């Protein structure tokens, strides 16, 4: 009796597949809305005369002295868009989801929301090492959660049959540059906000190296597929 129950739990029934497809659609809508809210929230961090209490005379001074805040917000905007693209890339290759995969996806968004929280604090208290490190940390967590959710989707038959084996394997490499660079910027916070901000430029060579590395694994993936 117990064996039958355990076996039935492992079987993927038509009802499970149908629920997974509906859940995937709902999850995708929720994540898109949250990403849109995160981007909107970033723009609200810009200096506001009503909130920050400056007039026309102080406008030029505020804009010139807040260049570092603008840089942090711009970096945040670029990174959030990159993570949104990663999310769309992953969800575009899924045929359904389940509870565990949904939790991983929501945790990724939650990590990005915590990142935005520390961006806000960084805009108010410039140069605090802990705030910069928390931004790097939660961006790294969000990125590695994306890798984990993709790995989980592959192992649990959540990915559609459209992507080839090579495309499935190279997805790991496409997801890694952002979290790896986030980890590399963590210690740079000790050298000040300028060095930490410049550290995000590592995304350019990291993305370039990822593209260069993908062709090298093509022969290996093709040999494995032939075997």
- pLDDT digits 0-9 by tens, 8-38: 445 667 777 777 778 888 888 888 898 988 8
**Is residue 25 assigned to a domain?**
yes
Q: What is the pLDDT of residue 209?
A: 81
**Is residue 7 assigned to a domain?**
no
SS (H, E, C) 7-49: HHHHCCCHHHHHHHHHHHHHHHHHHHHHHHHHHHHHHCCCCCH
What size, in residues, is the chain?
Answer: 227
**What average pLDDT does the segment 161-168 reach?**
80
**Is residue 6 assigned to a domain?**
no
Give the domain extent around 95: 16-226
Domain count, the chain: 1
**What average pLDDT does the segment 162-184 reach?**
86
**Is residue 11 assigned to a domain?**
no
**Is residue 186 assigned to a domain?**
yes
Q: What is the pLDDT of residue 68?
A: 67
**What average pLDDT does the segment 140-151 reach?**
93
Residue 26 vs residues 23, 33, 122, 143, 216: alpha-carbon distances, Å: 5, 11, 33, 22, 37
**Is residue 26 assigned to a domain?**
yes
CA distance 198 to 171: 27
**Is residue 167 assigned to a domain?**
yes
Residue 191 vs residues 120, 127, 188, 194, 195: alpha-carbon distances, Å: 21, 10, 6, 8, 6
CA distance 182 to 115: 11
Output the pTM of the full model: 0.80
- Comparing 227 with 77, which gets the higher pLDDT? 77
Q: What is the pLDDT of residue 142?
A: 94
pLDDT at 5 over 60: no
CA distance 137 to 12: 37
CA distance 179 to 185: 10
- pLDDT, the chain, mean: 80
**Is residue 161 assigned to a domain?**
yes
Q: What is the pLDDT of residue 164?
A: 80
Q: In Å, how far from its chain's centre is CA 67?
A: 25
């Amino acid at each position: 009796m117990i064996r039958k129950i355990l076996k039935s739990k492992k079987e993927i029934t038509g009802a499970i597949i149908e629920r997974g497809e509906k859940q995937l659609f709902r999850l995708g809508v929720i994540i898109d809305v949250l990403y849109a809210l995160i981007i909107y929230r970033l723009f609200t961090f810009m200096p506001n005369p009503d909130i920050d209490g400056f007039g026309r005379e102080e406008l030029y001074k505020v804009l010139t002295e807040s260049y570092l805040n603008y840089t942090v917000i711009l970096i945040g905007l670029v990174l959030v868009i990159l993570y949104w693209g990663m999310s769309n890339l992953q969800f575009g290759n899924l045929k359904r989801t389940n509870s565990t995969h949904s939790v991983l996806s929501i945790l990724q968004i939650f990590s990005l929301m915590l990142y935005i929280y520390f961006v806000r604090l960084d805009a108010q208290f410039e140069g605090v090492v802990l705030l910069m490190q928390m931004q790097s940390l939660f961006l790294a967590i969000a990125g590695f959660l994306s890798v984990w959710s993709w790995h989980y989707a592959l192992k649990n038959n959540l990915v559609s049959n459209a992507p080839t084996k090579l495309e499935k394997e190279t997805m790991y490499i496409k997801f890694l540059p952002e979290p790896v660079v986030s980890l590399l910027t963590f210690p740079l916070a000790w050298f000040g906000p300028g060095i930490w901000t410049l550290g995000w430029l590592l995304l350019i060579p990291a993305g370039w190296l990822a593209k260069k590395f993908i062709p090298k694994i093509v022969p290996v993936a093709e040999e494995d597929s032939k075997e």
